[in-house]
Structure 1
Amino acid sequence: MALKSMGLTVLSVFALLYAQTINGFTVELIHPNSLSNPNRNPSNSQFHWIRQAYNHTRSRAASIQSSLGGGGSAKFKTDIESYGGGYAMKYSLGTPPFEIYGIADTGSDVTWTQCEPCINCFSQSLPLFDPKHSKSYKTVSCDSDACTLVKSNGGPGAGECSGENVCQYQLTYGDNTQSIGDVATDTLTIGGASFKNVVFGCGHKNRATSYGNATHNATGVVGLGYSNGSIVTQLDKDFGGKFAYCLSSQPDSKSHISFGKDAIVNGTGAVSTPFDAGPYNSTLYYLSLESISIGNQSIPFKKSVSSNVGGRRAGIKKTSANGNIVIDSGTGVTIIPPNEFDNLKSELTKQIPATPIDDPQGQYSLCYSTIDKIEVPKIVAHFSGADVELSPRGSYIEVEEGISCFTIIPDIGFETFIFGSLSVVDYLIGYDLEAQTVTFKSTDCSKY
């Protein structure tokens, strides 16, 4: 769900692993289908999360396209609770620290959470953050740098002013989920390290769309996007513009995210590709996907038009101006252009000696019976300067009892393409905002 007004998107929930120093630390991420994930409704089936991942991806593509001025559709709706494909992170706000859960998301910039007094909020099982109980909480005035930061992220309602001279934010998502509240600063604690005066959104009026009988347990978002409002850029002096995550495909296995010096990805097998901020939305990380190969057969992709956007830091030479797909930790499923998908599907059916079957819910386009015990051919995404073999454990998943489907789906008119987290499970993925690169390294994330 990319944001229409501030370019924010939803972050998942973090759980603490350990902390080293402020300049380098690692925390745990919780799989969306893990029993320990507060976002998960215990009454849902084991397949609910992958169904929600499909809905969420469609909604997110429409929302990104809308934020780029391309309209988009609200046909595909998903609850803010589900965060299909999103991994959960625990952090704390305030003095004394108050624990909060939110989606760890590279498609979002400003972090936000539901706050007391809640004039109109969606229900959540966890307590709401109450600013009155934090000694370090401060609202932001309309003429402050923090309010200007919100305004610079654009959109209606961004950086507006209340009658009490408090800077306001308004986030509108592609599925009509909305958060409205005060722009504020407070102490942010992650992995045992604390950072003062971090800008975030304190939501007093929040709305989540209805999808089934889900229970809303999440409290908001942690933004890892490229723009100046994200925690990565706000804490640039501490993090050095570096973070990395390693996502396990198994719900009962631990995943992790690292910041600062712990987030340097190198060594044997590491491959890097430049990212671009895109022609309009500086929050997102655009990569140049040149082709996808199935076995020895290559499927080329069209390159995007150069955005001519300079580097985020002065003096940093831009390494690439192309980008045709967004890499997004908050979206599970990969979505590609329809023509390329048809070619991919055709090649897969040729190389897999089994008969495809229909998805009973009509979501996923290429499925097989688990009885066939198919062997998935090697699928490699060829980015500019980096060949990334997709993990079979993430690209081919059971969506119903006895039915497994490929988690790559075709775009249906949004013209926004997303490289989702399921395609790169068991990869250590490092972002370097200074060098403007994303680095991939095959890793057993359950042991990272």
Structure 2
Amino acid sequence: MGDLLRFLPSFCHLLCFCILFVSFVYGARELADDLSTKGARALLSSGQGIKLPLKKSGRGYAVTVGFGTPKLDLSLMFDSGSHTTWIKCKPCITCNQNEPIFDPFQSSTFSSCISGNYPANQSYHDKSYATGITVHDTLTLSNGVSFPNFEFLCSHNTSGFDGFAGLLGLEFSENSFISQTTETFSQIFGYCLPSLESSTGFLAFGDEAVAACSPQFRVPLVAGPNGYDDYYVDLVAITIGEKRLQMPSNDGSSSSSKVILDSGTPFSHLPQSVYSELSSSFQELMSEYGPFYSSGSMTCFNLEGHDLSTINIPTITLQFGDSLDLTLGSISVVLIENSNACLAFIGDDETIIGTHQQQNLNILYDISNKQVGFSFSQGSCSY
């Protein structure tokens, strides 16, 4: 008992020291977090916003985002049709990328227990997927703007994302990037997708997105099956040449079709009945370049023996109603690879405006006001 009594004061001093140390570290981190958040808000209030370079890379578009402390910059595919942001993390079973794989144990701000360490799975329309656990760490954009305790998926098993370190999900939902940065960026973002891998487009947030996109016209965002989580707009018709193809109503209550704007889907998907008419009209207008054939789900023809610069690709216009028409350039109508040219639309049950039709357009999403704006870039995207 005497030994215990002699040890007790030392133990109490040690315990007090530990409590003070933990309090100091926690307080310092809270202060740093607060200063970082205030810095981000100040940046936006000064009218600068954030504008990031965007590069075409294989099946998608890559943007650089930093994770952890010290910051590890990673190339993420950005996707307006997905709400989950995720990166490949060690240990990783199927990772394939040129950049280092994020190691949670090397980050001093990493945490997997703020709201519980729970498994998560993200799957996509093309059968690709990412599985892992939901975690938290600091996410950093350019100009030192950072978001402490950002929630994302730390993936240990992926399929279909070779070359990318993960995905930046910009769909609107609880705990999405848009939700977690609302106070800083006011649920506003915009982008311009470059048509060539040698060109640079942009992904912008907040005031900078408004300035960079400068919409020529705006259309309403409309509710879909998941409310306003997905970015739906009403598409009334598609015109090819002089022929107007009426879009069928999804719910029978309107003369338009709800379509998703998606930066993660390469080609536009149309109802099978509309696609069949579009394909037939395309073949009729391009009859001198036949015969036509099917490549997967696409209508194609061979360009051998033809001068590409002399081929007149038919005009296709997306009509949103009230004279709000978006006429696509020829580069957005067909996909040209080697000596083959394919109509860059496919028939499907789900209706989507894909990235091929969004090339070289400035597209602004104002989510809180439920609007999306369009304008044409001058020839090509410019960062």
TM-score when normalising by structure 1: 0.68
Matches within 5 A, 1:413-432: 415-432=349-366
Question: Aligned residue for 2:185?
Answer: 239
Whether 1:388 aligns to 2:326 is yes
Counterpart of 2:191, as a letter, is Y
The amino acid across from 2:336 in the alignment is: E
Superposed displacement of residue 254, structure 1: 0.8
| Matching residue of 1:162 | none
Shift of 1:179: 2.7
* Distance change >3 Å, CA 325–CA 368, structure 1 → 2: farther
Q: Match for 2:245: what amino acid?
A: I
Residues 279 and 343 in structure 2, CA contact (< 8 A), matched pair in contact too: no
The 8 Å contact of residues 273 and 438 in structure 1, kept in 2 or not, is answered as yes
Once the two structures are superposed, the pairs formed by residues 12-411 of structure 1 within 5 Å of their partners are 21-22=43-44, 24-33=49-58, 84=59, 86-118=60-92, 120-141=93-114, 144=115, 166-192=117-143, 193-204=145-156, 206-208=157-159, 216-264=162-210, 270-280=216-226, 282-305=228-251, 324-352=258-286, 354-359=288-293, 361-369=295-303, 371=306, 373-385=310-322, 386-399=324-337, 401-411=338-348
Task: Give a deviation string over 1:173-232, Cα, whole Å, max 9, x none.
Answer: 44554433221221111122212221111123x1426xxxxx932221101002122212
In the alignment, the residues of structure 2 paired with residue 111 and residue 248 of structure 1 have an alpha-carbon distance, to the nearest angstrom, of 22
CA change 1:222–1:362 in 2 (3 A) is closer
Matched residue type, 2:200: K
Cα distance change, pair 363–296 in 1 and its aligned pair in 2 (3 A): closer
- Given that 2:135 and 2:154 are in contact with CA atoms closer than 8 Å, whether structure 1 keeps it comes out as yes
Identity %: 27
Verify the 8 A CA contact 2:83 2:177 in the aligned structure 1: yes
Provide, for residues 146-171 of structure 1, a one-character-per-residue CA deviation record: whole Å limited to 9, x for no partner: xxxxxxxxxxxxxxxxxxx5233222
8 Å contact kept, 2:249–2:257? yes
Question: CA separation of 1:306/1:277 partners in 2, compared to 1, >3 Å: closer, same or farther?
Answer: farther
Structure label with greater radius of gyration: 2
With over 3 angstroms needed to count, the CA separation of the structure-2 counterparts of 1:202 and 1:289, relative to structure 1, is same
Counterparts in 2 of 1:435 and 1:367: CA distance versus 1, 3 Å: farther
Aligned-partner residue type, residue 31 of structure 1: K
The answer to whether the 8 Å contact 1:334/1:423 transfers is yes
How far the C-alpha of 1:276 sits from its partner, in A, is 2.4
Residue 87 of structure 1 deviates from its aligned partner by 0.6
Change (3 A) 1:229 1:306: farther
Measured at CA, do residues 179 and 447 of structure 1 come closer, stay the same or move farther in structure 2, by a change above 3 Å? Answer: closer
| Amino acid corresponding to residue 416 of structure 1 in structure 2 | E
The one-letter amino acid paired with 1:447 is S
Aligned-partner Cα distance in 2 for 1:25–1:269: 18
Find the aligned partners of 1:233 and 1:324 in 2 and give their Cα distance: 23
Task: Report if the CA contact (8 A) 1:125-1:216 is conserved.
Answer: no
Q: Deviations over 1:316-359 (max 9, x none)?
A: xxxx9985211101111111112111211222233335232345
Tell me how far apart the structure 1 counterparts of residues 238 and 333 of structure 2 sit (CA, whole Å): 13
RMSD, aligned α-carbons = 2.7
Query: Taking structure 2 as the reference length, what is the TM-score of the superposition?
Result: 0.79
Q: Distance in 1 between matches of 2:109 and 2:213?
A: 42
CA distance in 2: counterparts of 1:249 and 1:267, whole angstroms: 17
Distance 1:99 1:277 in 2: 35
Q: Deviations over 1:271-317 (max 9, x none)?
A: 1111224113753211111101123321100122289xxxxxxxxxx
Is 1:435–2:369 an aligned residue pair? yes
Which has the larger share of helix?
2
CA 1:121–1:321: 2 relative to 1, 3 Å: farther
Q: Give the structure with the larger strand fraction.
A: 2
Secondary structure of the 1:365 match is strand
Contact 1:265/1:439 (8 A) holds in 2: no
Q: Which amino acid aligns with 2:315?
A: K
Unaligned runs of 5+ in 2: 1-41
Residue 368 of structure 1, CA deviation: 4.7
Aligned residues: 333
Please give the alpha-carbon distance, in whole angstroms, between the structure 2 residues aligned to 1:121 and 1:114.
9
Greater mean deviation of Cα atoms: 100-109 or 402-411: 402-411
Cα distance, 1:132 vs structure 2: 1.2
Cα 1:96–1:269 change in 2 (3 A) is closer
Letter matched to residue 406 of structure 1: L
Give the aligned residue type for 1:27.
Answer: L
User: Within 2, Cα distance between the matches of 1:321 and 1:259?
Assistant: 33
- The structure-2 alpha-carbon separation of the partners of 1:233 and 1:92, relative to structure 1 and needing over 3 Å to count, comes to same
How big is each residue's C-alpha offset from its partner over 1:88-144, in whole Å with a ceiling of 9 and x where there is no partner?
1110001111111211100111211111233x3333332110111111111134xx3
